[in-house]
Amino acid sequence: GDSVTQMEGPVTLSEEAFLTINCTYTATGYPSLFWYVQYPGEGLQLLLKATKADDKGSNKGFEATYRKETTSFHLEKGSVQVSDSAVYFCASANQAGTALIFGKGTTLSVSS
């Protein structure tokens, strides 16, 4: 069945460092891909998404590009801040009307 695999953390960075969190997917078709963020003590928030190959999602300085050839949707940010400390989840949805499938989540900790 469909699945999402993301690098496991924790990832610990200094402020202004470059961030990459790897995410790959397996699917029978061409799913829509999402990154969600969960800040400490808060609910899940959509960070960015891409619905077709070569689409780039971006938000709050984060970017991810839908790469069909490598079945990947890696999350990147050029300069992280302490406020980016959170758990990041990669997710996919194979078609409209189906539930999101989540990766295991990656905990990011940024220190000043």
Partner 1 sequence: SAVISQKPSRDICQRGTSLTIQCQVDSQVTMMFWYRQQPGQSLTLIATANQGSEATYESGFVIDKFPISRPNLTFSTLTVSNMSPEDSSIYLCSVEYISNYGYTFGSGTRLTVV
Binding site for partner 1 (CB under 8 A): 32, 34, 36, 42-44, 46, 49, 51, 89, 93, 96-105
Kindly state the smallest distance separating residue 94's Cβ from partner 1, in Å. 12
What gap in Å lies between CA 19 and CA 102, rounded to an integer? 20
Tell me whether residue 18 or residue 39 sits nearer to partner 1 (CB atom).
Answer: 39
Taking the C-alpha atoms of 65, 70, 74 and 76 in order, what is their torsion angle to the nearest 10 degrees?
A: -60
Nearer Cβ to partner 1, position 55 or 76? 55
Give the angle subtended at the CA of 106 by the CAs of 23 and 15, to the nearest 5°. Answer: 105
**1 class by beta-carbon count within 10 Å (0-12 exposed, 13-18 middle, 19+ buried):** exposed
Q: How far is the CB of 3 from partner 1 (least distance, A)?
A: 11
Nearer to partner 1 by Cβ, of 60 and 104: the residue is 104
Q: For partner 1, give the closer residue by CB, 8 or 16.
A: 8
Closest separation in Å from C-beta 59 to partner 1: 12
Backbone torsions φ then ψ of 65, nearest 5 degrees: -115, 130
